[in-house]
A and B are shown apart, each in its own frame.
Chain A
Amino acid sequence: MQGYNGKILRINLTTQSVKTEPLDLVQAQKFIGGRGLGSKILMDEIDANIDPLSPENKLIFVTGPLTGTATPTGGRYMVVTKSPLTGTVASSNSGGYWGAELKFAGYDAIILEGKADKPVYINIEDEKVEIKDASSLWGKVVSETTTELERIHGSKVRVSTIGPGGEKLSKMASIMNEKSRAAGRSGVGAVMGSKNLKAIVVRGSHKVEIANPEKLKEVFSRCLSQIKENGVTGQGLPAYGTAVLVNILNENGALPTNNFQTSLFEKADDISGETMAEKFLTKKEACFRCPIACGRVCDMDGVEVAGPEYETLWSFGSDCGVSDLGEIIKANNWCNELGIDTISVGATIAAAMELYQRGYIKKEDLGDGPELIWGNAEAVVEWTKRIGLAQGLGAKMAEGSYRLCEMFGAPELSMTVKKQELPAYDPRGIQGQGISYATSNRGGCHVRGYMISPEILGLPEKLDRFSLEGKSEWAKLFQDFTAGIDSVGLCLFTSFAMGADDYADLYNAVCGTEITGNDFVQAGERIWNIEKIFNLNAGIDSSQDTLPKRLLKDEIPEGPSKGWVTRLDILLPEYYIARGWDQLGIPTSTKLEELGIDSKLDSTKV
């Protein structure tokens, strides 16, 4: 079957064995690829209750059938594992070029097992796969590691690597490819570090086979026009990247500020996409075959570095009360170099600032580190560094906001869902985003059902952001649709311009199938349900489908969203009904049958 290479690379780092196995094409079609296929493999191969940082955990790098093909943004891959941050299934998506290169090398996925007894990296050149000594790379930052591996293996290779954050098992560690593209969330980098695996170098020379090249050309050009004509993908993202959201959210009074104590930041414009474009932007950057090019390159004291995304401008900016964009660019760069997640790191520093404000963290806890005071830009940069290097209080912060707040006796100050830091949208002012956050299968996350699209941007239609009506159904639909996109190998940003039928048509042209848009969304629903089963089996039940108390009880104190809390009391029961789950949020056997899911719920857990 075209699109898929039909081959999985299985590497056991304990025994150093390298095997290739055929891809189960029936499962592949059922779960599409990427996030779906990875979750299914994880589900089938590990006990959901293992310690995520033990050799029993598996780390799966998995592409989609459209990865590496002539489709718009067809370069994405997923890292799937059990998360050390949340204990849930983790699937972190990344763009750049690495995923496409893995396809060119002839594989759909790499399954990594066990643990090497000393630091190693993997070098893949088509059929040749080597496990190599990485002692001299251990401790090096991401750019140095990448440059060194390119020096050894040639400038054409693609490198995916962890930084010191992953080596030191920070629960917020990311995996970085092409230096600045991140599989950022849920601590996937710590799992790689726990296996003593520093990097994976890939070089491939094959083409991905296409079932119907003529049809693909036709669908591609249709989708491309849609992307070009759409205001968001054709104008907004290319001109300002995601950073333009700073002012939008602030004007709506839904830009979380000072660890969600309020949602209005007086100096928002100083850290906005507009200011970035005016003062720091040097050029744009695109991932593999991407016509949108939302990536930003910024000037940092005379050096060109990757610019911060909206979420990062928020986490280091308004969430910490910081308005110095130049310093945020530095903190962002440290995250890329140390291999740590910008959202979780910034949000954890914000939580630390509130712990300091309320006297839980005392001056003596800071050691020689800068004071954790709102608006202290120097503190944000310095503590980012210390988190990545696990130094002093930074080592405690590297455990993430939830564990930090718990250590200091104030878990209620952690703005997390399932122990993962919430991103840059206050769900009190955006009700549908609230239900999406609370039910996300990987904890606090905006890309598991981006309700900002209808509630703030008005796409595909404008919904009243305060209304509860129909929001649970919308969130479910967005969650399922997104799971499909994450699995097929395309960038989520295409969904501003493309619908389910477009993805189905691209999939059909590449794979030679005849699925409909509905089938595509249903596959997404199937994926969502197996993720949920994994979480339930891991002991993460629906009592964790909730939000921090602050967002449920404390009204936003000022601005256009003043007086609102998230009405989860109404939204959650409606959501379970929309999902066809029981009142406790457990998928019913009827639902699982309807979706053709054979993975079993562990009856001792639910």
Chain B
Amino acid sequence: MNITVKFFATFRRGREKIVNIEVERGSTVKEVLDIVKIEVDEIAILLVNGRDGTIAQLLNDGDTLSLFPPVGGG
């Protein structure tokens, strides 16, 4: 299945802003993170289709993951 991963702030260093990856059906967020080489503890905000996501969450075909490192408020 196809998953879109969007990177923000410092996660864009050395990466594209957005990538599409093929993963096996039944993959979790964690498995996608391993592929894009982002450690769980680097992430401050993790959204799946714009909603709060979890590491163990099962993904569906066409899902979008948005990943943010610690960022500012204000």
Contacts and interface: CB of A to CB of B under 8 A. Distances in A.
A240 B72 contact: yes
Contacts of B57: none
Contact of B72 (A244, A462, A465, A492): A244
A232 B12 contact: no
B14 interface: no
B69 A496 contact: no
Given A239-B72, A311-B74, 8 more contacts: A240-B71, A245-B72, A248-B68, A458-B44, A459-B73, A462-B52, A493-B72, A560-B51
B44 to A, nearest CB: 6
Contacts of B6: 251
Given A231-B44, A274-B8, A274-B12, A248 B71 contact: yes
B49 to A, nearest CB: 6
Interface string B40-72: 000011010111100000000000001011111
B17 A236 contact: no
A241 interface: yes
A452 interface: yes
A253 B48 CA distance: 12
Contacts of B49: 560
23 contacts: A231-B70, A231-B71, A236-B44, A236-B69, A236-B71, A242-B72, A244-B8, A245-B72, A245-B73, A248-B8, A251-B50, A253-B50, A269-B17, A273-B72, A294-B74, A453-B73, A457-B73, A458-B44, A459-B73, A462-B52, A465-B52, A493-B73, A560-B49
A52 B62 CA distance: 56
Interface string A102-139: 00000000000000000000000000000000000000
Contact of A231 (B8, B66, B69): B69
Contacts, number: 94
Given A251-B50, A462-B52, A560-B51, A241 B72 contact: yes
A266 interface: no
Contacts of A559: 50
B12 A496 contact: no
Interface string A203-247: 000000000000000000000000000111011110111111101
Given A231-B69, A242-B73, A310-B74, A236 B47 contact: no
Interface string B10-26: 10100001000000000
A450 interface: yes
Contacts of B52: 462, 464-465
Contacts of B12: 274
Chain A, interface SS category:
helix
B36 interface: no
B7 to A, nearest CB: 9
B38 interface: no
A541 B43 CA distance: 44
Interface in A482-509: 492-493, 496
Contacts of B51: 560
Contact of B9 (A236, A462, A465, A561): A236
Nearest to A237: B72
B44 A457 contact: yes
Residue with the greatest number of chain A CB neighbours at <10 A, chosen from B44, B47, B69, B70 = B70
Contacts of A465: 52
Contacts of B73: 232, 236-237, 242, 245, 450, 452-453, 457, 459, 493, 496
Chain B contact residues (Cβ within 8 angstroms of A): what range?
A: 20 to 34
Interface of A: 230-232, 234-237, 239-245, 247-248, 251-253, 269, 273-274, 294, 309-311, 450, 452-453, 456-459, 462, 464-465, 492-493, 496, 559-561
A589 to B, nearest CB: 37
Contacts of A251: 6, 8, 47, 50, 66
A232 B74 CA distance: 10
A113 B53 CA distance: 55
Given A235-B69, A252-B50, A458-B44, A242 B9 contact: no
Contacts of A237: 72-74
B73 to A, nearest CB: 5
Contact of A232 (B8, B50, B71): B71
Contacts of A462: 52
A274 B7 CA distance: 11
Given A235-B70, A496-B73, A244 B9 contact: yes
A273 B17 CA distance: 13
A309 B70 CA distance: 18
Contacts of A231: 44, 69-71
A459 B74 CA distance: 13
Contacts of A235: 10, 69-70
A248 B11 CA distance: 13
Contact of B50 (A245, A458, A493, A560): A560
Contact of B71 (A244, A309, A450, A492): A244
Given A457-B71, A560-B51, A239 B45 contact: no
A252, A294, A311, most chain B CB atoms within 10 A: A252
Contacts of A294: 72, 74
A243 B74 CA distance: 9
Given A251-B47, A462-B52, A239 B74 contact: no
A365 B12 CA distance: 46
A181 B72 CA distance: 19
Contact of B70 (A236, A464, A493): A236
Nearest to A235: B70
Nearest to A277: B9
Nearest to A238: B72
A504 B45 CA distance: 30
Nearest to B18: A269
B21 to A, nearest CB: 18
A493 B71 CA distance: 12
A80 to B, nearest CB: 22
Contacts of A311: 74
